[in-house]
A and B are shown apart, each in its own frame.
Chain A
Amino acid sequence: MNKTHDNRAWFFVLPVVALVAFNAIIPLMTVVNYSVQETFGDNVFFWAGVTWFEQVLQSQRFHNALGRQLIFTFTILAIEIPLGVAIALAMPRKGPWVPVCLVLMALPLLIPWNVVGAMWNIFALPDIGLLGRSLNALGFNYNFTRQPGDAWFTLILMDVWHWTSLVVLLAYAGLVSIPDAYYQAARIDGASSFAIFRYIQLPKMKRVLTIAVLLRFMDSFMIYTELSVLTGGGPGNATTLLSIDLVKIALGQFDLGPAAAMSLIYFLIILLLSWVFYTLMMRNEQQ
């Protein structure tokens, strides 16, 4: 309702503003700077206008990386969200098994990202990895370091293993907050399990699922560490997603201008898509 107004409160916000300025706004401005300048070394810069932006937007390489990125993100969303919800529904809501399940679910989230990459790399190696060897023993010709299809398969499997837990935990939190009365009412109304899911559980999970989709979308769009350790973008450019490509341009070729322009475009794409997602999902809510 009514809030007490006290302007001194702004004092407490200052340190945060300073921190954000230091680690977000200043680097961002540097990037903006680079994106409109050309340099030939020796710290001498020339105005380049929108040249880099045009170059990036027109380059086939960027289009390919963006395409791969979109395929990757929507594939893992299409797998992780339903799978996460399904697992959350299957988890017990009361009793001694609850903490056990929760800890098991949280485990993948506790592992450092580079370790996840390394783990899966070793796990999937066709000669010594458990997964790689088993698949080959079963008669599949599997080699993720050589064959693009296998690389994609491994990458998606790794991401699903790593991140479905997050969706599970969020969906579970949404599920346990549904009062018993809803289930009782549904039983009395003679609703089937599917109807209970469709009309009670799903609507009540909607808010947390929105958050899950947003988080998974942003994170997967920015995936770097695990991917660079697992495949490094290969074989060839098969799994070179946007972030990998960006690093190749910036640090591999030291094309700071195009890299800066690409970073900004990359940033704007994420911002725009997140906004579209959020608006779409919230519009339903308001009706």
Chain B
Amino acid sequence: MSLELRRVSLRVGAETHIHPTDLVCEPGSFNVLLGTTLAGKTTLMKLMAGLERPTSGEVHFGGRDVTGVSVRNRNVSMVYQQFINYPNMSVYENIASPLKVARLPDDEIKRRVGTFAELLRLTPMLGRRPSELSGGQQQRTAMARALVKDADLVLLDEPLANLDFKLREELRDELPRLFANRDCIVVYATTEPVEALLFGGHTACLFEGRVVQFGPTGEVYRSPLDLTSAQVFSDPPINTAQVTKAGGDFRLADGGSFPVPAGHAGLADGAYTLGVRPHHVSPAPEGAQPVAIEGDVLVTELSGSESIIHFTFHERTWVSQAHGIHPFEVGTRQRLYADMSKALVFDGAGRRIAGQSTT
């Protein structure tokens, strides 16, 4: 069954929470809603689930109009950022609860709970109470409960956000496996681009209550329609610079210039915005057209295997995401290289007109 939003919008008083949105999620697909806090991810999910009634537009499920149908009469399950379990029930009873509500026979319940406990590595904990579990185990219990009832639509609202770093990494690995052979539609909300990338499937970039782009994840990432979409799908944030194309050169505001990359020679002269992803800026020349830039280091964040160097460039904050550990001191001036052959080119209205990060 497919889920279709047709011109769905939500206004509360004078405020527009969701602008008219069209979105089709195919049966068995994994869909990521990507956006910052307050971009409208949760609200969009509530509209999909029927927890919220749209101000205008229709929600279709499996070809049927379900716009006014209450969530209780749809086969939907949801996992939240907070670990929500019944505190006075054991893990087994927690997972079994939706099946008991559905009045399934006991042996069937037992079988299904067993299957999902095994899948989510909860079998040894079945007899315990949620308070006796670690955060990761609590969230896995909540997920098992959401999955056990064979919902047509599974909504996951930033389920990993409250977990420790390493647990998050583990569950990111497990999640796609859980849904691999199921025909339910999964919608997963997150603020982190890397999660969208790792899960694959389709991604919708949300910005201020608007779906700015929806498509296969790799495509949305590599061919953003506009600057907003590129900004939503970049963490650390994508670097931007204003340039003027004059003949064979791109000129920066301070007078510096570099040759227009080979692929963009056909552009008309004029003003453009360049978008350079942080991993295309590095301390050593890399790629087809490294252009030297200098900036004052604001901070170097070290993530174990990478350095995220924040620095000022043309009065903007730029970021380089470089392999290895580069402990540059705060306040020092550093020379870095931006691979301009990978730059995305946006016109005055912010639409991408050239450039694509290809594999």
Answer yes or no: are A and B bound together in one complex.
yes
Chain A contacts to B: CB under 8 angstroms: 2, 4-5
Does the CB pair A2–B17 fall under 8 Å? yes
Q: A2-B12, A2-B52, A4-B52 are in contact. List 7 more A-B contacts (CB 8 A).
A: A2-B10, A2-B17, A2-B43, A2-B46, A4-B51, A4-B53, A5-B53
Count B interface residues, CB 8 Å: 8
Overall SS of chain A's interface: loop
* Cα distance, A2 to B12, chains bound together (Å): 8
A-B contact pairs, 10 of them (CB 8 A): A2-B10, A2-B12, A2-B17, A2-B43, A2-B46, A2-B52, A4-B51, A4-B52, A4-B53, A5-B53
Question: In whole Å, how far is A5's beta carbon from the nearest beta carbon of chain B?
Answer: 7
- Which chain A positions have C-beta within 8 A of B53? 4-5
B52-78 Cβ-contact flags toward A at 8 Å (1 or 0): 110000000000000000000000000
Question: In whole Å, how far is B119's beta carbon from the nearest beta carbon of chain A?
Answer: 33
Overall SS of chain B's interface: mixed
Question: In whole Å, how far is A15's beta carbon from the nearest beta carbon of chain B?
Answer: 23
- Which chain A positions have C-beta within 8 A of B10? 2
Q: What is the chain B residue whose CB lies nearest that of A5?
A: B53
- Which chain B positions have C-beta within 8 A of A5? 53
- Which chain A positions have C-beta within 8 A of B12? 2
Question: In whole Å, how far is B8's beta carbon from the nearest beta carbon of chain A?
Answer: 14
- Which chain B positions have C-beta within 8 A of A4? 51-53
Question: In whole Å, how far is B157's beta carbon from the nearest beta carbon of chain A?
Answer: 13
* Cα distance, A4 to B52, chains bound together (Å): 5
Which 6 pairs between the two chains have the least Cβ-Cβ distance?
A2-B12, A4-B52, A4-B51, A2-B52, A2-B43, A2-B17
Question: In whole Å, how far is B317's beta carbon from the nearest beta carbon of chain A?
Answer: 31
* Cα distance, A4 to B51, chains bound together (Å): 7
* Cα distance, A5 to B52, chains bound together (Å): 8
- Which chain A positions have C-beta within 8 A of B46? 2
* Cα distance, A10 to B52, chains bound together (Å): 18
Of residues 167 to 217 in B, which have CB atoms within 8 Å of A's CB atoms? none
* Cα distance, A234 to B51, chains bound together (Å): 63
- Which chain A positions have C-beta within 8 A of B17? 2
Question: In whole Å, how far is B209's beta carbon from the nearest beta carbon of chain A?
Answer: 12
* Cα distance, A4 to B72, chains bound together (Å): 14
* Cα distance, A178 to B318, chains bound together (Å): 42
* Cα distance, A5 to B12, chains bound together (Å): 11
- Which chain A positions have C-beta within 8 A of B52? 2, 4
